[in-house]
Amino acid sequence: MNPSYGTIKELDDISFQLVPINPIVQERLLRKLDVRMTMWGFFGSLSCFLNRNNMQNAFTMGMDKELNLDSNVYNWSVTMFFIGYTMFVFFLCKKRLQIPGNILIAKSLPRWVIPSFAIIWSTIVCFMPVVKSYNALWSLRFILGLAQAPFYPGMALLLGSWYTKDELGKRNMVIASGIPVAGAVGGFVAAGITQVMDGAGGLFSWQWLFIIEGLIGVLVGVSGYYLLPNYPHNTSWLTSEERQVAMARMHNHGIHVISNKYNWQIITNVLISPYPWLFIVLWTCSTLCHGIVDNLVIILRDLGYPVAFSNLMLTPLHIFGAMVTIFLGWSSDKRQDRAFHIAGILLWVGVWYSALVMINSDEQINSGHVVIAAAYAISGNASTLSLCLVWVSEIYKEDHNSRAIAMAFINTMGMVIPNILNVKFWVVTDSPNFGTLFYYMHKVVSI
């Protein structure tokens, strides 16, 4: 048995007292973690959302016309992803209910599990160009949802096992910034492929989009085998000094990183607690209100802008969103606050949807610059999701198993519920006339 397991057990068993930490070794440890784990998490997040959200770009590039797909098929292709995402939350295994993604990560080696899922989802996207019908499209989207489900809560769980409360928000936001950057890169790549590669090798531009973005994800996944850590007590690329400091840091902050046996009581305690349900409501509201950003390309195209221009407009928008996200993470850590930051973001989003409702009453909503301005203002809304997971990590810091289950449950339900509702809310054929929807989004945030 690796002797490091015994060392951390001794730390957990002794009556609580602060363990001295060498600041020089701690600085070296944090630098290693930031360069390897946090930066890989950023690129993993970029790959995850690049491959998840490229349907929007593919449709504007002609996928809908080539395969004769209507808005209902588009909306259900998005929904099928989240049905697959949900299926990974609960399943019966050995006569007990489990949340498999985070349980697998909590009880095994994240260094191998998380990158493997990244390679799987990227390979699935590489097969998207061969679809000939909506049935095949829905099937691949369903499997894609299964493969991507463990990534985000798994990375949040891993970061919470290494960083302290005053460090965690910034790192989570760096990873979360991969989401808007994925939108920026996706728009840039889609515009370039539209101009250069349409028809190359006998493939349409939307087919090249899936192939190129899928291959990017494969490279990211392979690099994760080398870069990612496991947990403080069993990461091979730490020195003995760094390992002891990492374990002492978690001990001093009351954070437990050893997974014990799962049982029904742990799961029940999480589900009957009010916290997961509150976070699911917050997550649902935030995701629903992000629709104007997610559908901006389609709105601009339907307002008469060229496809290449519509795709390129995503790049500065999402870069701006990434900057706002990182700033909010820094501010949240500096002030040691999560609640007021989340409330402030949602209030700001509500103000902008109220403005869109009033502008719509003057029949000016179809002005492209108004829609773009609103999308910029709302782009930082995505940071709400990461702040929720940081808050959850702090609430459940004393129980590694409960933290794993709560994060997986909140992340999955918070993703699934709004994206099922989006089938009825953000109907593509309504574009660009979303006036009634803006009114409902204003009401959602007000609640």
**How many C-beta atoms lie closer than 10 Å to residue 195's C-beta?**
12
Q: Are 41 and 288 in contact (CB under 8 A)?
A: no
pLDDT (0 to 100) of residue 40: 97
Rounded to an integer, what distance in angstroms lies between the CA atom of residue 443 and that of residue 437?
A: 10
pLDDT (0 to 100) of residue 67: 82
pLDDT band of residue 436 (cuts 50, 70, 90) is low
Rounded to an integer, what distance in angstroms lies between the CA atom of residue 163 and that of residue 168?
A: 5
Among the listed residues 109, 242, 249, the one whose alpha carbon sits nearest the alpha carbon of residue 168: 249
**How many C-beta atoms lie closer than 10 Å to residue 17's C-beta?**
7
Question: Residue 372 burial by CB count (10 A; 0-12/13-18/19+): exposed, middle or buried?
Answer: middle
* Percent composition of the chain: helix, strand, coil (DSSP 3-state, to 5): 80, 0, 20
Q: Where is mean pLDDT largest: 11-25, 111-125, 167-181? A: 111-125
Q: Are 387 and 332 in contact (CB under 8 A)?
A: yes
Rounded to an integer, what distance in angstroms lies between the CA atom of residue 216 and that of residue 380?
A: 25
Radius of gyration of the chain (CA): 22
pLDDT band of residue 295 (cuts 50, 70, 90) is confident
Q: What's the 3-state SS for 48-86?
A: HHHHHCHHHHHHHCCHHHHCCCCHHHHHHHHHHHHHHHH
Q: Where are the domains of the chain?
A: 22-446
What digits encode the pLDDT tens for the residues 260-279? 566 677 778 888 888 889 88
Distinct helix (H) and strand (E) counts, the chain: 25, 2
**DSSP assignment of 123-159:** HHHHTGGG--SHHHHHHHHHHHHHHHTTHHHHHHHHH
Q: Left, alpha or beta for 370 (phi > 0: left; psi -120 to 50: alpha)? A: alpha
Q: Where are the alpha helices (DSSP H) in 231-313?
A: 240-252, 264-272, 274-289, 291-294, 296-302, 307-312
Rounded to an integer, what distance in angstroms lies between the CA atom of residue 194 and that of residue 282?
A: 37
pLDDT band of residue 125 (cuts 50, 70, 90) is very high
> Is 70 exceeded by the pLDDT of residue 15?
no
SS3 329: helix
Please tell me the total number of residues recorded for the chain in this structure: 447
Q: Are 390 and 328 in contact (CB under 8 A)?
A: no
> Is 80 exceeded by the pLDDT of residue 302?
no
> Is 70 exceeded by the pLDDT of residue 80?
yes
The mean pLDDT of 73-93, rounded to a whole number, is: 72
What digits encode the pLDDT tens for the residues 177-209? 888 888 778 878 888 888 888 878 888 899 999
The mean pLDDT of 224-252, rounded to a whole number, is: 90
pLDDT (0 to 100) of residue 432: 61
Rounded to an integer, what distance in angstroms lies between the CA atom of residue 399 and that of residue 9?
A: 14
Residue tagged 């004769």 (tokens): 68
User: Could you tell me how far CA 419 lies from the centroid of its own chain?
Assistant: 14
Phi and psi (nearest 5°) for 262? -80, 145
> Is 50 exceeded by the pLDDT of residue 97?
no
Q: Where is mean pLDDT largest: 64-68, 167-171, 350-354? A: 167-171
Question: Looking at the domain that runs over 22-446, which CATH code has it been given?
Answer: 1.20.1250.20
Q: Are 191 and 308 in contact (CB under 8 A)?
A: yes
What digits encode the pLDDT tens for the residues 32-43? 999 999 999 999
Q: What is the mean pLDDT of the chain?
A: 80
In this structure, what token pair is assigned to residue 217? 């994800």
